[in-house]
Structure 1
Amino acid sequence: MGHSVIVHLIRHEKTAANIERKYIGWTDESIITKNVEYDLPIQPESVYGSDLKRCRETAHLYFPTAYFHPFKKFREMNFGDFEMKTYEQLKDNPLYRQWIDFPKTVIPPNGESFANFTERIIHQFRQIVAASGDYCFVVHGGVIRVLLSVFGPKEESFQQIAVQHRCIYTLQWSNWTSFEGGARCELLSVVPIMEKENS
């Protein structure tokens, strides 16, 4: 591919909190599925991602022979006092309602601002993607949403983007110069991750 840049973004497998529709940020919860084999179209030697268990475990599940590079800066947003709570539990909290309506300006109590969340992800991402090549990340839904809002082929806000489990989001730039200059990717493809069929 010459001087192209290819980035694969994968959301971790579901945890109990995901099933229960809780805000799970820095809580270090394990994934539910651990003993299923998957058939992935890519087999990277190195995988980058969050240092939390759900990303480590997913990377090992999907890419058992790859070396995993953990980074604290790739963690999900820190939801502070909203952590591990559901919409139903929070819906009568005035500050929560403000945060839902104005997520870029209102900060969860004891949590993280959207600006800080975005800055740390982009900074870490650019440190890793420092040359042309093929990169694979296993991270959190919010992290992928930030990266797609900044680098996706069309202009969409964080709130407009939905990220599914068991999908590979692949962004492609034809040359390093355009990526380095901050251009959006030229191509985005989404491929489902399928379980291996028993032979």
Structure 2
Amino acid sequence: MKALNVPACVDGWHASPLVRCASLARVLSADAHIDARLSEMHFGAWEGRAWDSIDRGLIDAWAGDIEHARPHGGESLAQFAQRVVAWFEAKCVGRGAVHVVAHAGVMRVLAAHLLGISYESALQWSIDFGGIVWFRCVRGEWVLVRWNA
């Protein structure tokens, strides 16, 4: 972690159970904590499909109420955020450094929660594949130290 200039890991590595995250976390720590709450948003019938293969009317319906609509049958943004924030509250509040290997949606939802902005706004933030996001709690307030480092 020295090469990345991030704090020493006090409370372990946490990861989504999806292979691309869990396998990296296990390389970084033999006792990585794998947690389904760190999975990307579930898109139901749209899972794994290209956007242009989905009926435009369904996409528009979803975009019209991105927080609560679920025309795909999977999770709404609100449900997804509730799952991710529940993980954060259970595993991170009051603990030392926690490292997470997860998906862009998870990091965007955490950013919105920690910074007090709308989930919809944070969905627009770009995260590179392999990008590092770092938050720090300073005097009880969360600050964004790095985004896409």
TM-score exceeds 0.5: yes
Q: Tell me, which stretches of 5 or more residues in structure 2 are unaligned?
A: none
2:37 to 37, 62, 73: 73
Please state whether the residue corresponding to 2:97 is helix, strand or coil.
Answer: strand
Larger RCO: 1 or 2 (CA < 8 Å, sep 6+): 1
Q: 1:115 to 1:190 in 2, by over 3 A?
A: closer
Q: 1:191 to 1:142 in 2, by over 3 A?
A: closer
Aligned to 1:155: 117
Shift of 1:66: 4.7
CA distance in 1, matches of 2:144, 2:45: 38
The RMSD of aligned alpha carbons is: 2.2
CA distance in 1, matches of 2:52, 2:105: 20
Which has the larger strand fraction? 1
Q: How many residues align?
A: 143
1:145 to 87, 105, 108: 108
Q: 1:79 to 1:166 in 2, by over 3 A?
A: same
Kept after mapping to 1: 8 A contact 2:62/2:69: yes
Which has the larger helix fraction? 2
Aligned to 2:90: 127
TM-score, length of structure 2 as denominator length: 0.82
Aligned to 2:147: 190
TM-score, length of structure 1 as denominator length: 0.63
Q: Tell me, which stretches of 5 or more residues in structure 1 are unaligned?
A: 1-38, 193-199
CA distance in 2, matches of 1:187, 1:141: 15
CA distance in 2, matches of 1:107, 1:174: 36
